A and B are shown apart, each in its own frame.
Chain A
Amino acid sequence: MHPIDIDKSISRRGFARWATTALAASPALAAADPLTAAQIVDRIKKKLAEEGVVWGPSNFDRFHLGDPGIQVVGVATTFQPTLRVLQRALAAGKNFVVAHESTWWDGFDPVEAFLQDSVCQAKIRFAEQNHMAVWRIHDHWHRRKPDPIFTGLARKLEWSAYYKYEERPRHYEIPEMSLEEVARHIQQKLGTQNVVVVGDRNLRVKTVGDCAHILSSVLPALRACDVALVGETPQHDTFEYLRDAMSLGMKKGVVMISHEGLEEWGMQACADWLKPVVPELPVEWIATGDPFQVPAIRV
């Protein structure tokens, strides 16, 4: 078993004190009927339906942690509900986390597979002790038109003017620059050095296609654009494919950023979208952040 230092987390008694203080500090909140996480989800579904996204089957979109019946004192949106994000949400007075990605380290969130794992137990305990819940909205958030995950990326890259959703979704026509300039632009705008590139540094780039995380998704972007911008793709196929494509003389490039770097800006937008859904509660986006840093090396 791994040693768990969960003492830093807020205890049940501490949460009660904190929640009482939070309620006292907000007379409007104290006067309102308590709102549960499940009731907030009902409001979200209603608003989505009004926007044309009817709630339907999903392998992902449901509660993954905590009690849907908790009384919510604040809402945090985030890309991935890591334990660090939960800790930061609680510290910010938010006990209901609306997340885009998984809680339990597998795309389909099978907590049952990890119940004996001490990290899983710590995460469950943290949520229980602090009356927190995590609800995931992946598929349905992507179904909004335009997809807020990718308009969020365009905004973050300051490429919104080059992103013509109605004409070619996930396709940027940018002012011509080199592949290295593209990569450096992305580093600067996303605030991370974690940008791994395959391709000729001097490749002239006019079109960029953003794409999901496996080669079968990268291929359409590569075929349509000069460069595929992908969130954490397997190197053993995508990088090798591009190596061979270049060997054939194809003028293409791949820019790999983290999954967070590609998508978390859409959950920043989710916070603004949620505020009118729960006007009686504070809503805040909490960044998951790029998990990778790039150490300095002498090459």
Chain B
Amino acid sequence: MESEMTGRTADLIVCAALGDPMSTARYEGLCAGNANTRVLGVMVCYAPTLDLLRRAAAEKKNFIVSREHPFFLHGGLYYSYGTDGLEAAMKDDPVVAAKRQIINANQLMVYRYASAWDLFKPKAQSLALAQALGLKPLPSAPGDRSRGVVCDVPRTTLAALAQTAADRVKAFCPRTVGDAAGSVTRVAVLAGETDPTPALARLLADPKIDGVIAGGGGTVDEVDGAIAWFQDLMATGRKIAMLAIGHLPSEAPGCAEMAKFLGGVFPALPIEYWETPDPGWIPRS
């Protein structure tokens, strides 16, 4: 089914549905393509990879909604991760050039609604991850607009939950901080980065929380951020450990959830969520 709607109109409808016009947000909204192009179909993904762009062109899904930026400009969604140097480093980059060529040649449009989606439903990504892992989140406090959710689990270990993550969300590069063999009964689930540190500290304020399942996203989490704080938390004597399942596997369930949401926004348009595998691997014996 084809519509007469352009990308610009679709963007306005999405922003209205999300309750926040994100046209001024850096690295969000229309990231690539011509907004006056007629929308033929909608594809939702974690990252608009080259392979997905080629497939979108072949299958006429030219309105692409992504969690990440087509040219790798993540920006500071929740922390001060600078991308100014990256923009300069990307000038004349062959990968960026190839993606632009495919987008323009096939009249694709890439729209990013990461912050907008999170502002609309702050817990959506973590909730979707928890549900994908088979966990049932506890009700959150009224007015709680933090990202994480908390789940009671039958006594288990983070090592066992790592297998669950591998089986259910294809997280094949899990890493743990602390004792993965220690028992856990209440876990905080936080899709994406663990930063900012004060937010993680608030999420873990309940002393009964003895495990964290997060995505983990890089140096901003580790030495410079919340994982360093988490190590210090453990050193104070708190019995707690963390399972970092990887950024993509942690965010993907929320992207699928967004596709369902957009199905309600555009009932006449074919909307699909396309998954991508985590590209990482760890040599194992």
Contact = CB atoms under 8 A, between A and B. Distances in A.
B141 interface: no
Interface string A89-123: 00000000000011001110000011001110011
B68 A240 contact: yes
Contacts of A102: 223-224, 228
Given A80-B223, A117-B198, A197-B283, A248 B244 contact: no
Contact of B231 (A8, A84, A236): A84
Interface string B249-285: 0000000000000000000000000001011111110
B248 interface: yes
A31 interface: no
Contact of A3 (B197, B235, B238): B238
B1 interface: no
Contacts of A198: 279-281
Contact of B47 (A113, A213, A240): A240
A215 B89 contact: yes
A5 B176 CA distance: 22
Interface residues of B, number: 74
Indicate the member of B244, B278, B280 with the most A CB atoms within 10 Å.
B280
A119 B240 CA distance: 14
A195 interface: yes
Nearest to B197: A105
Interface string B215-237: 01111111111111101111111
B95 interface: yes
A114 B217 contact: no
Contacts of A21: none
Given A2-B205, A123-B232, A234 B81 contact: yes
A296 interface: yes
Nearest to A292: B175
B219 A232 contact: yes
A82 B228 contact: yes
A220 B93 CA distance: 11
A214 B86 contact: yes
Given A231-B219, A233-B218, A234-B217, A241 B232 contact: no
A122 B237 CA distance: 11
Contacts of B47: 236, 240
Contacts of A129: none
4 interchain residue pairs of minimum CB distance? A5-B237, A234-B218, A213-B219, A83-B235
28 contacts: A1-B205, A2-B204, A80-B228, A82-B231, A82-B232, A83-B236, A84-B234, A101-B224, A102-B223, A105-B232, A117-B198, A122-B232, A123-B232, A193-B284, A196-B175, A197-B281, A198-B280, A214-B86, A215-B72, A219-B93, A220-B89, A231-B219, A235-B280, A238-B218, A248-B94, A291-B177, A294-B176, A298-B163
Given A2-B207, A84-B231, A213-B218, 10 more contacts: A2-B204, A80-B223, A101-B223, A214-B219, A216-B88, A232-B218, A234-B219, A242-B279, A260-B223, A294-B174
